Structure 1
Amino acid sequence: MNSPLVRIVSLTKTYKNVTALRNVNLEIPQGRIVGLLGPNGCGKTTMIKILVGLLQQYEGEVYIDGFKPGIQTKSIVAYLPDRNILNPAMNAFECVKFFETFYADFDSTQAKEIINVLQIPTNRPVKSMSKGTIEKLHLLLTLSRRAKIYIFDEPIAGVDPLAREQVFELISRYANADASILLATHLIHDAQKILNDAIFLYEGEILRYESIDRIISADQPHLEEAFKSDFKAKINQKQQISSQYGEAL
């Protein structure tokens, strides 16, 4: 297996009295597409914000290609956030030119190709675009970088069902083949076909981190079924512990 581009050691993040991440340990090797799966509030976005350097106060160690998240790692990490960060007055062509100027690894030829594939209007300002079109624009800007690591936070939340399969195919086709890809999504069924591995995150802890081939089976061929099964087992375990604790009192 290739050496890890992402390494997390004993990562814990607490907001006041709420622990968002608890003693997380994981490595993401080069050339793997890894799904980060879990319900709302499980810690997915917190982990992503730490990896891209937006959160800097935490316990434990985080390394991106051997460096702690910061200015140096931003040059090798392509990040697609879960909200619009583009200038609402700029059009798609101007956004491409801005990214081309800002990122040395930006491939403008590939950007133009993806614009045509996604049929994104180039002269309309961002503020006049639909939510789904804005998400597609974010996607093409992210995929047009020759990054070492791609991090996608809910890349198709506002995309219509007919376009979902196309979006995942684009990620598989255009992201640098040697890169590490971390993909946080609720749409497990749609994402399964491009994932190599999956992380199940629950209440800030990793329940499972394995290859898709090891997670699914003949009796349970769908990743979403395995995901639900693991979470139900964890919830039942917590309820039993709580019940036993109550009886002891």
Structure 2
Amino acid sequence: MLEIKNLNINYGGRPVLDNLNLRLQKGEIVGLLGPNGSGKTTLLRILAGLEKNYRGDVKINGENPSYLTKSFVSYQPDHLPLDSDYSLKKILKLYEKFFDDFSKEKFEKIIKDFNLTMDMKIKNMSKGMKDKVQISLSLSRKSDIYLLDEPMSGIDPASRKKIMDVIIDNFDSDGLMIISTHLISQVERLLDKVIFLSDGKIILEEKTDEMRNKYKMGVEEYFEEVFNV
């Protein structure tokens, strides 16, 4: 489903992704973990077809990231890139127009689960509410790949369990989900596999159960040991 070979990208002469190789299959939720500046967001932007200035080979279902792959890749950036005057009802209509795989019914259900209403406007929402809208939009598509960049950065601790439950209930097991986050303890129960990035290189790629058995630690505990947090 996703295959990356010898991926390199530099910003200002500094390597951001350094000869990265990765292969992932459908049916997994993968945690993309690393300190700030490790290349997580850049990698997701490349997979979403938003960053073209790279060297190497990136294939999603055999295609290079482009307008073609956007039809089956659902990307959630770390901010809501829509007009602040838009209501959820208008956003729904916009997504229905642009994405054939978008489910109005699913979106309305998830929004209701988050205790939001369709007449709410972006400009009147907190950061946490906007994060919930983004998650709702991402999960309401029937995509092959879901890319979530810091999906819970603005959500209060009391609401994070609900977010996890919504993701579990709505994740399509025929797809692949990659979650980049610093809130490791919050998402750990979701993850089938973890990838540790450091200075643009993969220093660990392992199934979570195998990692726990090998190192006798949870994901967050091992992350803190590796990165001396």
- Alignment of 1:158 onto 2:154: yes
Aligned residues: 229
Distance 2:91 2:47 in 1: 24
Structure 1: where are the runs of 5+ without partners? 236-249
The residue identity in structure 2 corresponding to 1:210 is E
The correspondence for 1:12, drawn from 8, 13, 24, is 8
- Alignment of 1:122 onto 2:110: no
Cα 1:25–1:147 shift into 2, 3 Å? same
| Match in the other structure for 2:73 | 77
* Match runs of 1:132-143 below 5 Å: 132-143=128-139
The correspondence for 2:221, drawn from 217, 221, 225, is 225
Residue 219 of structure 1 deviates from its aligned partner by 6.4
Distance 1:218 1:42 in 2: 25
Q: Any conservation in 2 of the 1:111–1:144 contact (CA below 8 Å)?
A: yes
The residue identity in structure 2 corresponding to 1:19 is P
* Match runs of 1:209-220 below 5 Å: 209-217=205-213, 220=216
The residue identity in structure 2 corresponding to 1:161 is P
Residue 19 of structure 1 deviates from its aligned partner by 0.6
Distance 2:74 2:179 in 1: 12
- Alignment of 1:190 onto 2:186: yes
Q: Any conservation in 2 of the 1:146–1:175 contact (CA below 8 Å)?
A: no
The residue identity in structure 1 corresponding to 2:174 is D
Structure 2: where are the runs of 5+ without partners? none
Residue 54 of structure 1 deviates from its aligned partner by 0.8
The correspondence for 2:89, drawn from 85, 88, 93, is 93
Distance 1:227 1:31 in 2: 24
The correspondence for 1:47, drawn from 30, 43, 54, is 43
- Alignment of 1:111 onto 2:107: yes
Give 3-state SS (helix, strand or coil) of 2:69's partner.
Answer: helix
- Alignment of 1:199 onto 2:175: no
Structure with larger Rg: 1
Give 3-state SS (helix, strand or coil) of 2:159's partner.
Answer: helix
The residue identity in structure 2 corresponding to 1:145 is R
Greater relative contact order structure (CA < 8 Å, 6+ sep): 2
Residue 124 of structure 1 deviates from its aligned partner by 2.3
TM-score, normalization by structure 2: 0.96
| Match in the other structure for 1:243 | none
Give 3-state SS (helix, strand or coil) of 1:71's partner.
Answer: coil
Cα 1:219–1:142 shift into 2, 3 Å? closer
Distance 2:75 2:116 in 1: 20
Distance 2:215 2:67 in 1: 47
What is the root-mean-square deviation of aligned Cα atoms in Å? 1.4
| Match in the other structure for 1:246 | none
**Percent of residue pairs bearing the same amino acid type:** 36
